Amino acid sequence: LFSLFGRVNYSYADKYLLEAVVRRDGSSRFGTKKYGIFPAFSLGWRITQEDFMASTSDWLNELKLRAGYGVVGNDQMGNYNSYTQFAYSEGNASYGMNGSNGAFSNTGFYQSTFGNTDVKWETTTTTNVGIDATFFKNITLTFDVWQRNTKDMLYQKQLPLVLGTATRPSINIGEMKNTGFDFELGYANTAMNGDLTYSAELVFSHYKNELTKLTDVATDFYQGSGYREKYYTRTQTGRA
């Protein structure tokens, strides 16, 4: 993996905050499409620093609105996915040159993997909006709403069994959408003249996962692994 990135941080009057990052990642796991560019940025507004919030300073210590957008890449597949490979085996790829069924002294080669040079980065784009607040110096509140969209997912291609047992290559398929929110409420304080510090947090999260596209054919599905000639899972558009 080879990466270059640049980052910019900006703060104006400690009220308006900006951070932007651009990455260029390259992975040797890909064939002709080794590089991807992944931008991200976040904005923040510390509302309690505004003059019109001065009257709330005795009970509202911090109030900040946040918004963010970012793209990340995934290259998690076999190291040699781009290459069609061959292997030798005395048991599975031997051949008797004299024509006898019992003579397997000549070791041969067989195709062990299928390659795919056209596979590219899987990308996930996340957008979120959030709020941070502190009340009475002891109570903290954080709330985030987010949506995550993944496309060009890396998945092993399904091939007919007549092509043999060679390892299937990873390809890019489908689109997936995740939506959700995270809520956190905390309390922290001290006791025994500051010798004891304690805190408690309440966390609640909810998310929904939906496959919005699998292939260009809406009725396509991918079947999971089988057990005793039964298949218990499959991946299909419109399902979680």
Q: Is the pLDDT of residue 229 over 90?
A: no
HEC per residue, the chain: CEEEEEEEEEEECCCEEEEEEEEEEECCCCCCCCEEEEEEEEEEEEHHHCHHHHHHCCCEEEEEEEEEEEEEEECCCCCCCCCCEEEEEEEEEEECCCCCCCCCCEEEEEEEECCCCCCCCEEEEEEEEEEEEEECCCEEEEEEEEEEEEEEEEEECCCCHHHCCCECCEEEEEEEEEEEEEEEEEEEEEECCCCEEEEEEEEEEEEEEEEEECCCCCCCEEECCEECCEECCEEECCCC
Mean pLDDT, rounded, of the chain: 88
pLDDT value at position 101?
62
Does position 82 have pLDDT exceeding 80, yes or no?
yes
pLDDT in tens, 91-119: 777 666 666 666 555 677 888 899 999 99
pLDDT at 96: 64
Predicted confidence at residue 140, as pLDDT, reads 97
Least confident of 2-6, 157-161, 175-179: 157-161
What pLDDT, on the 0 to 100 scale, is given for residue 35? 95
- Counting residues of the chain whose pLDDT is more than 90, the rounded percentage is 62
Residue 19 has pLDDT above 80, yes or no: yes
Task: Look at residue 240 and tell me whether its pLDDT is greater than 70.
Answer: no
pLDDT in tens, 47-62: 999 999 999 999 999 9
User: Taking 80 as the threshold, does the pLDDT of residue 213 lie above it?
Assistant: yes
